[in-house]
Structure 1
Amino acid sequence: MSATSQSPVVTVERGLTAAEVRQRVADGKTNDVPARASRSIGEIVRANVLTRFNAIIGALFVMILIVGPLKQGLFGLVIVVNTAIGIFQELRAKRTLERLAIVGEAKPRVRRDGETVEIPVNQVVLDDIIELGPGDKVVVDGAIVAADSLEIDESLLTGESDPMVKHDADAVMSGSFVVAGTGAYRATKVGRDAYAAKLAEEASKFTLVHSELRSGIDRILRFITWLLFPAGALIIYSQLTVKNQSVPDALRGMVAALVPMVPEGLVLLTSIAFAVGVIRLGRRSCLVQELPAIEGLARVDVVCADKTGTLTENGMRLSEVRTLNQDGADVGAVLAAVAGTDPRPNASMLAIAEAYPNGPNEPDGPGWRTTAIAPFSSARKWSGASFDQHGNWILGAPDMLLPADSPELATAVEAGAQGLRVLLLARSARPVDDPATATDVTPVALVVLEQRVRADAGDTLRYFAEQDVAVKVISGDNAVSVGAVAGTLGLAGADRPVDARELPEDQAELAGVLAERTVFGRVTPAQKRDMVGALQSRGHTVAMTGDGVNDVLALKDAQIGVAMGSGSPATRAVAQIVLLDNKFATLPYVVAEGRRVIGNIERVANLFLTKTVYSVLLAVLIGIVRLPFPFRPLHLTLIGALTIGIPSFFLALAPNTERARHGFVPRVMRMAVPAGVVAAVATFVTYWLSHVVDGTTTQAQDTTAAVVTLYLVAAWAMAIVARPYVWWKIALIAAMFAGFLLALFLPLGRRFFELDISHAGSMATAVGAGAVAVAVMEIGWWLDGWFRHEKRRLLG
Structure 2
Amino acid sequence: MTGLTTSEVEERRARGEGETGARSVTKSTGAILRENICTLFNALNFAIAILLFAVGAYSNMLFIAIIILNIVIGIAQEFKAKKLVDELTILNQPHAVVLRDGKETTIEAGDIVKDDVMVLDSGKQICNDAVVIDGRLEVNESLLTGESDSIDKTAGSELYSGSSVISGRAYARVTHVGDENYTNSLINEVRQEKRVHSELLDSMRKVTRFTSFLIIPLGVLLFVEAMFLRRSGTYDAVVSSAAALLGMLPKGLVLLISVSLATGVIRLAKAKILVQNIYSLETLAHVDVLCLDKTGTLTDGNMSVDRIVPLGERGAAEDSDALLRAYLDASEDNNVTIAALRAHFGADDSTADAGQPAAPASDGRFAAQAIIPFSSKRKWGAITMRAAAGAADAPRHAQEGESAATATGTVFLGAPERILGANLPDEAAALMGQGLRLIAVGYLPGAWTDEERLPDALQPMFLIALRDNIRPRAKETLAYFRDQGVDVKVISGDHPDTVAAVARQAGLERWRDVIDMTSVPADAPDSTFDDVAGRYTVFSRVTPKQKRQLVQAMQRAGHQVAMTGDGVNDLLALREADCSIAIASGSDAARQISQVVLLDSDFTYLPQVVLEGRKVVNNVTRTAAVFFIKTIYSVLVSFFCLALNVPFPFIPIQITLVDACIEAWPSFLTIFESDTRRIRGRFLPTALGKAAPFAIVVTGMIIAFSLIAPFGETQNRTVMFALLVAASMVAVIKSCVPFTKIRVFVCVTMVLGAPFALLILPHLFEVVAMTGPMWAWFAVAFVVMMAVTAAIIAAQRAWLRSRR
What CA distance in whole angstroms lies between the structure 2 residues aligned with 1:232 and 1:99? Answer: 47
SS, match of residue 458 in structure 1: helix
Distance 1:413 1:379, change over 3 A: farther
CA displacement at 1:788 relative to structure 2: 2.5
> Equivalent residue for 1:739?
753
What CA distance in whole angstroms lies between the structure 1 residues aligned with 2:743 and 2:445? Answer: 75
What CA distance in whole angstroms lies between the structure 2 residues aligned with 1:103 and 1:269? Answer: 30
Report the AA paired with residue 556 of structure 2.
S
SS, match of residue 466 in structure 2: strand
CA displacement at 1:530 relative to structure 2: 2.2
Normalising by structure 1, we get a TM-score of: 0.90
Moved more, 466-475 or 680-689: 680-689
Distance 1:122 1:205, change over 3 A: farther
SS, match of residue 303 in structure 2: strand
CA displacement at 1:687 relative to structure 2: 4.8
SS, match of residue 126 in structure 1: coil
SS, match of residue 334 in structure 2: coil
CA displacement at 1:375 relative to structure 2: 2.9
Asked whether 1:634 is paired with 2:653, we answer: yes
Asked whether 1:373 is paired with 2:361, we answer: no
Confirm or deny: 8 A CA contact 1:555 1:574 kept in the other structure: yes
SS, match of residue 281 in structure 1: helix
> Equivalent residue for 1:767?
779
Confirm or deny: 8 A CA contact 2:22 2:109 kept in the other structure: no
> Equivalent residue for 2:391?
none
CA displacement at 1:188 relative to structure 2: 1.3
Confirm or deny: 8 A CA contact 1:239 1:629 kept in the other structure: no
Confirm or deny: 8 A CA contact 1:14 1:114 kept in the other structure: yes
> Equivalent residue for 2:343?
354
Distance 1:84 1:791, change over 3 A: farther
Confirm or deny: 8 A CA contact 1:565 1:581 kept in the other structure: yes
C-alpha deviations, 1:555-581, integer Å up to 9, x for none?
Answer: 122222211011011211222211111
What CA distance in whole angstroms lies between the structure 1 residues aligned with 2:455 and 2:293? Answer: 26
SS, match of residue 789 in structure 1: helix
C-alpha deviations, 1:279-336, integer Å up to 9, x for none?
Answer: 1221121222233322321221111101111111111222222223243134443333
Residue-pair matches, total? 770
What CA distance in whole angstroms lies between the structure 2 residues aligned with 1:193 and 1:165? Answer: 24
What CA distance in whole angstroms lies between the structure 1 residues aligned with 2:756 and 2:695? Answer: 25
Asked whether 1:399 is paired with 2:417, we answer: yes
Distance 1:246 1:364, change over 3 A: closer
SS, match of residue 162 in structure 1: coil
SS, match of residue 615 in structure 2: helix
CA displacement at 1:203 relative to structure 2: 4.9
Confirm or deny: 8 A CA contact 1:143 1:169 kept in the other structure: yes
SS, match of residue 713 in structure 1: helix
Which of the numbers 132, 149, 162 marks the counterpart of 1:144? 132
Report the AA paired with residue 371 of structure 1.
Q
CA displacement at 1:765 relative to structure 2: 2.0
Distance 1:374 1:243, change over 3 A: closer
Pairing 1:776-791 to 2, within 5 Å after superposition = 776-789=788-801
> Equivalent residue for 1:524?
543
Report the AA paired with residue 758 of structure 1.
M
What CA distance in whole angstroms lies between the structure 2 residues aligned with 1:212 and 1:398? Answer: 47
Report the AA paired with residue 214 of structure 2.
L
What CA distance in whole angstroms lies between the structure 2 residues aligned with 1:206 and 1:549? Answer: 20
C-alpha deviations, 1:474-532, integer Å up to 9, x for none?
Answer: 11122212212221222111134322223463432332233222222222222222222
> Equivalent residue for 2:527?
508
Which of the numbers 12, 18, 34 marks the counterpart of 2:6? 18
> Equivalent residue for 2:598?
579
Confirm or deny: 8 A CA contact 2:118 2:172 kept in the other structure: yes
Confirm or deny: 8 A CA contact 1:614 1:680 kept in the other structure: yes
Confirm or deny: 8 A CA contact 2:57 2:239 kept in the other structure: no
Report the AA paired with residue 331 of structure 2.
D
What CA distance in whole angstroms lies between the structure 1 residues aligned with 2:791 and 2:447? Answer: 79
Asked whether 1:443 is paired with 2:460, we answer: yes
Distance 1:786 1:375, change over 3 A: farther
Asked whether 1:683 is paired with 2:672, we answer: no
C-alpha deviations, 1:29-54, integer Å up to 9, x for none?
Answer: 12236622122222211221222322
SS, match of residue 434 in structure 1: coil
What CA distance in whole angstroms lies between the structure 2 residues aligned with 1:105 and 1:244? Answer: 67
> Equivalent residue for 1:334?
323
Normalising by structure 2, we get a TM-score of: 0.89
Report the AA paired with residue 574 of structure 1.
I
What CA distance in whole angstroms lies between the structure 2 residues aligned with 1:471 and 1:200? Answer: 27
CA displacement at 1:603 relative to structure 2: 3.8
CA displacement at 1:164 relative to structure 2: 1.0
Pairing 1:50-61 to 2, within 5 Å after superposition = 50-61=38-49
Report the AA paired with residue 329 of structure 2.
G
Asked whether 1:280 is paired with 2:280, we answer: no
What CA distance in whole angstroms lies between the structure 1 residues aligned with 2:463 and 2:373? Answer: 19
Moved more, 536-545 or 85-94: 536-545
C-alpha deviations, 1:434-463, integer Å up to 9, x for none?
Answer: 233365422222222222111111111111
Which of the numbers 715, 723, 729 marks the counterpart of 2:743? 729
> Equivalent residue for 2:481?
464
Distance 1:749 1:331, change over 3 A: farther
Distance 1:280 1:585, change over 3 A: same
Pairing 1:232-631 to 2, within 5 Å after superposition = 232-240=219-227, 247-327=234-314, 328-357=317-346, 365-367=362-364, 368-389=366-387, 390-406=408-424, 408=425, 410-429=426-445, 431=447, 433-435=449-451, 436-437=453-454, 439-503=456-520, 505-631=524-650
> Equivalent residue for 2:82?
94
Distance 1:733 1:237, change over 3 A: same
CA displacement at 1:241 relative to structure 2: 5.8
SS, match of residue 437 in structure 1: coil
What CA distance in whole angstroms lies between the structure 2 residues aligned with 1:777 and 1:429? Answer: 88
What CA distance in whole angstroms lies between the structure 1 residues aligned with 2:725 and 2:180? Answer: 59
SS, match of residue 179 in structure 1: strand
What CA distance in whole angstroms lies between the structure 2 residues aligned with 1:709 and 1:297? Answer: 41
What CA distance in whole angstroms lies between the structure 2 residues aligned with 1:736 and 1:517? Answer: 53
What CA distance in whole angstroms lies between the structure 1 residues aligned with 2:411 and 2:475? Answer: 38
What CA distance in whole angstroms lies between the structure 2 residues aligned with 1:303 and 1:160? Answer: 24
Distance 1:213 1:363, change over 3 A: closer
RMSD of aligned residue pairs (Cα, Å):
2.9
Confirm or deny: 8 A CA contact 2:345 2:360 kept in the other structure: no
Report the AA paired with residue 46 of structure 2.
G
Report the AA paired with residue 577 of structure 1.
V
Report the AA paired with residue 144 of structure 1.
V
Report the AA paired with residue 731 of structure 2.
A
> Equivalent residue for 2:183?
196
Gaps of 5+ in 1: 1-12
CA displacement at 1:734 relative to structure 2: 3.6
Report the AA paired with residue 738 of structure 1.
L
Distance 1:340 1:686, change over 3 A: farther
Confirm or deny: 8 A CA contact 1:207 1:290 kept in the other structure: no
Confirm or deny: 8 A CA contact 1:156 1:176 kept in the other structure: yes
What CA distance in whole angstroms lies between the structure 2 residues aligned with 1:159 and 1:571? Answer: 15
Asked whether 1:128 is paired with 2:116, we answer: yes
Identity of aligned residues (%): 35
Report the AA paired with residue 299 of structure 2.
T
Report the AA paired with residue 316 of structure 1.
M
CA displacement at 1:786 relative to structure 2: 3.0
Which of the numbers 26, 33, 46 marks the counterpart of 2:34? 46
What CA distance in whole angstroms lies between the structure 2 residues aligned with 1:391 and 1:317? Answer: 27
Distance 1:662 1:784, change over 3 A: closer
C-alpha deviations, 1:344-398, integer Å up to 9, x for none?
Answer: 4322222221121257967963112111223333333333322114522223332
What CA distance in whole angstroms lies between the structure 2 residues aligned with 1:62 and 1:760? Answer: 40
Gaps of 5+ in 2: 352-358, 388-407
CA displacement at 1:628 relative to structure 2: 4.7
> Equivalent residue for 1:10?
none
What CA distance in whole angstroms lies between the structure 2 residues aligned with 1:670 and 1:393? Answer: 69
SS, match of residue 131 in structure 2: strand
CA displacement at 1:768 relative to structure 2: 2.7
Report the AA paired with residue 379 of structure 2.
K
